[in-house]
Amino acid sequence: MHLKLTALVIFTVFGVFLTQAQVIVHIENKRFAEPDSGWSGNIGLNATFIQNFNDIFISNNSSQIQYRKNQYSLISLNNLNFNVVNKQSFVNDGFQHLRFSTKLNRLFSFETFGQAQFNKLANVDYRYLLGWGFRAKLIQKDSIRLLIGSSFMSERDKESLGKQNSHFRLSQYLSFGLPIANTIYFDLIAYYQPDLNNKLDYRTSVAGMVNIKINKHFSFRINHSLYYDSYPAEGMKRTIYNFTNGLNYTF
């Protein structure tokens, strides 16, 4: 087996920060190219310390590991953000996602997944997901991509103020990727997750990314996402925005 690791270093150039971790984890744009068998992935380790009137420590650890053989694939995604100001922690969040996929034919794949997550900024102490569903590859030609997916999932969470929730949800998504020019690529993914027992309880998430290739190793990324929850945790807003720019180095 050959392990291919790509080191990912992101320097934040400009950003309007509201939440680092995704409340809905976008899986489709984290997959690796299908033709490769064996292991592939990337690991990112980032830390920042700022000392002025306050002592500020910010760290981010993330990994995307995939194993593929024949029609089977296993994906592991991990992200952890830890922020401390004057020895007081805040805005800490993270998730671990595992997904097993079986390719049924040229068009359809069957998937099962599990996820553990916490997000202090969203007042979620923990959230656990278990689910299964289907993914359809409508277009996959050159760099153009159009996929849709639909899953059923069981969800349990505990809010920071103590309320516990249990839901059965559908998770439906559309993923679209298109090269704008030789060095510019546009990626869009949208999710809709309604509660099967309450049609007024739903979540939506839309994320767009523009990747501008500078040279063989460097690229510049612009990311913008919007998340809406009709029944957020107590004390939270229904809508969350996230806008970040970053420099990506791959070797």
Task: Express each pLDDT in 179-192 by its tens digit.
Answer: 998 899 999 999 99
| pTM of structure | 0.79
Confidence of residue 4 (pLDDT cuts 50, 70, 90): very low
- Top-confidence range, 29-38, 61-70, 172-181, 213-222: 172-181
Is residue 11 over pLDDT 60? no
d(CA 105, CA 126): 36
Is residue 155 over pLDDT 90? yes
Mean pLDDT value of segment 159-185: 92
pLDDT recorded at residue 247: 77
Q: Report how far apart the first and last C-alpha atoms of the chain are (Å, whole number).
A: 20
Tell how far CA 30 is from the center of its chain.
Answer: 7
Confidence of residue 210 (pLDDT cuts 50, 70, 90): very high
Mean pLDDT value of segment 113-140: 92
What percent of the chain stands above pLDDT 70? 82
pLDDT recorded at residue 161: 87
Segment 79-97, tens digit of pLDDT: 888 777 777 666 688 999 9
- Domains of the chain from N-terminus onward: 5-249 (2.40.160.40)
pLDDT recorded at residue 23: 67
Q: Which residue has the higher pLDDT, 245 or 35?
A: 245
d(CA 18, CA 241): 6
d(CA 217, CA 207): 24
Mean pLDDT value of segment 137-150: 89
Is residue 132 over pLDDT 90? yes
Q: Which residue has the higher pLDDT, 185 or 59?
A: 185
pLDDT recorded at residue 28: 67
DSSP states along 169-199: EEEEEEEEEEEEETTEEEEEEEEEEEETTEE
Q: Alpha-carbon torsion 188, 61, 133, 169, what sign? A: negative
pLDDT recorded at residue 8: 33
**Weakest-pLDDT range from 28-42, 149-163, 172-186, 200-214:** 28-42
d(CA 249, CA 230): 38
